[in-house]
Amino acid sequence: MFPITYHVGQIVFIGKMFIGDKWTLLSIPKGNSKEYNAEKFAQPKTQVGDEFLKNASQKKRDKERCARKLRRGIRYANKFLLRIWHNERKERRHANRRR
């Protein structure tokens, strides 16, 4: 396990050499922990699943909305097809009466 972490450190070091000043830290920079904590703890506290539940309920509403639109579209398509079928049927009846 230790040789792997050593090699990861080497890869990061090489990455820093290539990128130079554009390198951004993945953790809190040294000496900035007070600023980070002040910013982090100033945010309102939420329960762990609040955002997940909000997104899940939005997805459920979106699915229901899509289902309603689909049912409405199917209803209109059925009405349209029935109207065409009735018109063709009427035309056939009229054609048979004329004979």
- Mark 64-80 as b/e (b = at least 16 C-beta within 10 Å): eeeeeeeeeeeeeeeee
Q: What pTM value is reported for the model?
A: 0.35
**What value does the mean pLDDT take over residues 21-44?**
81
User: Exposed, middle or buried: residue 29 (CB in 10 Å: 0-12, 13-18, 19+)?
Assistant: exposed
Give 9's pLDDT tier (boundaries 50, 70, 90).
confident
Give 40's pLDDT tier (boundaries 50, 70, 90).
confident
